Amino acid sequence: MDFYYLKGSNYTPLDSPGLRILGVTVMGMITISVGLAVGLVVFRKWRERTWGWCTCSTDMTGKVVVVTGGNSGIGKETARGLAARGAIVVMGCRDARKAQEAIADIRKTVSTGDLVFLELDLSSVDSIRVFVSRLLTKFKRVDVLINNAGVYYPPQDPPVTTTEGLEIHFAVNHLGHFLLTHLLTDVLVATPQSRIVVVSSELYKSGHLDVDDLFKSARDGRSSSRQPLYNNSKLANLLHARQLHKNLSGRGVLVCALSPGFVYTGLFRHALRQYSWIKRFAFLPVAYFFMKTTAQGAQTSIHCACSSKVMAAASSSSGPPYYSHCRQAALLPVALNDEAAASLWEASLRLLRL
């Protein structure tokens, strides 16, 4: 390789060993960077193949599907996927403006089905009751209930609580959905072949629930750098699904649970605020190469809402089937504990004075 510099009016070849080494180094770095980028893209594509995509084309026309937290992230893409299959999707959201924006966005790509916004704040018992009463005034059936909404806060001292004084993860992620499901049980039973889909997370694995003192975990969580309260609530989701499956077996309501995987959504917005912009910037490659898009993240929820394979799995299983990447997966013993599921059920009824 020849290098030139301008000397007077003549070009003279530069042949110094230093410049040669520099040239080889630059070429080497470019080659390595391009190779790395190509490798990462191939790696990403390979991962995408393992994540699965719901290919089920069930016609959901006329079916009423309730999606909590349907205005963003996984919930919004679930609503889009089910409206595309013809469903009437009731989006239970706490913010009317966000819900209307989500509906407008879905309508850019999907013209079928119906999208209905009904206000729902899962941290408020009154709001949940009003939501159910409005829903049942409007519709006489609920074919699928998707307990999707969720919150994720960083550990705080004191922990974030609802206006009713309940620890926020437990209140929104578990107890609000517990009440909603309880109030919709009769209509779900009355609707042929209905389903309850519980959106949990793989983080349930490090969850722990002391049902004798449900708020002990809130106190224990104060000084922890990890996120036990969210994890506990996701374990509660699975134990709730387990008891629901038991209580509803033989009554025509399928119950299943799922983990959507690691998905790039707004879920972590409260947690990310505690990091500097440099750390958040450094996180971007992780997000790009390891996290699902919201459309990819919604596939397991859509699969659970409409696949006939899920119906078959639920009827032959002793507990609610659990799905990850659109495939049935095994749960750890902590989520298979019948005694814990029954105690959580009783404790939740007591907390809600039901």
Ligand X SMILES: NC(=O)c1ccc[n+]([C@@H]2O[C@H](COP(=O)([O-])OP(=O)(O)OC[C@H]3O[C@@H](n4cnc5c(N)ncnc54)[C@H](OP(=O)(O)O)[C@@H]3O)[C@@H](O)[C@H]2O)c1
Q: What stretches of 52-143 show up as alpha helix (H) in DSSP?
A: 73-84, 96-107, 125-138
- Is 288 tagged catalytic? no
In the complex, least distance from residue 219 CB atom to ligand X, rounded to whole angstroms: 22
Binding ligand X (rule: CB under 6 A), the pick from 71, 231, 243, 300 is 71
Name the segment binding ligand X (CB under 6 A); options: 147-155, 207-215, 331-339, 343-351.
147-155
What's the token pair of residue 6? 């301008």
In the complex, least distance from residue 208 CB atom to ligand X, rounded to whole angstroms: 17
Please tell me whether residue 343 binds ligand X under the rule CB under 6 A.
no
Binding ligand X (rule: CB under 6 A), the pick from 81, 113, 150, 228 is 150
Please tell me whether residue 99 binds ligand X under the rule CB under 6 A.
no
Residue 44 half-sphere exposure, CB side, CA atoms within 13 Å? 16
Q: Report how far residue 74's alpha carbon sits from residue 67's, in angstroms, rounded to the nearest whole number.
A: 10
Count CB-CB contacts under 10 A for residue 155: 18
For ligand X, the binding residues in 26-55 under the rule CB under 6 A are none
Binding ligand X (rule: CB under 6 A), the pick from 51, 66, 75, 241 is 75
Q: Mask: binding to ligand X, 192-211, rule CB under 6 A, as x and -?
A: -------x-x----------
Report the greatest alpha carbon distance in the chain: 94
Q: In what helix (H) or strand (E) does residue 286 lie, and over which residues does it extend?
A: helix 277-290
The site for ligand X, by CB under 6 A, has a size of 29
What's the token pair of residue 143? 């074919």
Length of the chain: 354
Residue 213 half-sphere exposure, CB side, CA atoms within 13 Å? 5
Please tell me whether residue 103 binds ligand X under the rule CB under 6 A.
no
Measured CA distances, 93 to 40, 170, 289 (Å): 37, 18, 30
Binding ligand X (rule: CB under 6 A), the pick from 80, 85, 94, 174 is 94
In the complex, least distance from residue 128 CB atom to ligand X, rounded to whole angstroms: 9
Please tell me whether residue 122 binds ligand X under the rule CB under 6 A.
yes
Please tell me whether residue 81 binds ligand X under the rule CB under 6 A.
no
In the complex, least distance from residue 21 CB atom to ligand X, rounded to whole angstroms: 46
DSSP string, 213-241: GTTHHHHHGGG-SS-HHHHHHHHHHHHHH
Q: In what helix (H) or strand (E) does residue 287 lie, and over which residues does it extend?
A: helix 277-290
Binding ligand X (rule: CB under 6 A), the pick from 58, 86, 95, 309 is 95
Query: If you ran DSSP here, which 8-state letter would residue 293 be given?
Result: P
Q: Mask: binding to ligand X, 244-263, rule CB under 6 A, as x and -?
A: ---------------xx-xx
List the Cα angle 104/108/109 in 5-degree steps: 130
In the complex, least distance from residue 156 CB atom to ligand X, rounded to whole angstroms: 16
Please tell me whether residue 231 binds ligand X under the rule CB under 6 A.
no
Catalytic residue from among 152, 153, 204, 230: 230
Q: Report how far residue 243's alpha carbon sits from residue 236's, in angstroms, rounded to the nearest whole number.
A: 11
Q: Residue for token digits 């080889």?
A: 24
Q: Compare residues 68 and 307 and give the one whose CB is closer to ligand X.
A: 68
Count CB-CB contacts under 10 A for residue 141: 15
Binding ligand X (rule: CB under 6 A), the pick from 265, 296, 307, 343 is 265
Catalytic positions, written as ranges: 230
Site residues for ligand X per CB under 6 A: 68-69, 71-75, 93-95, 98, 120-123, 148-151, 172, 199, 201, 259-260, 262-263, 265-267
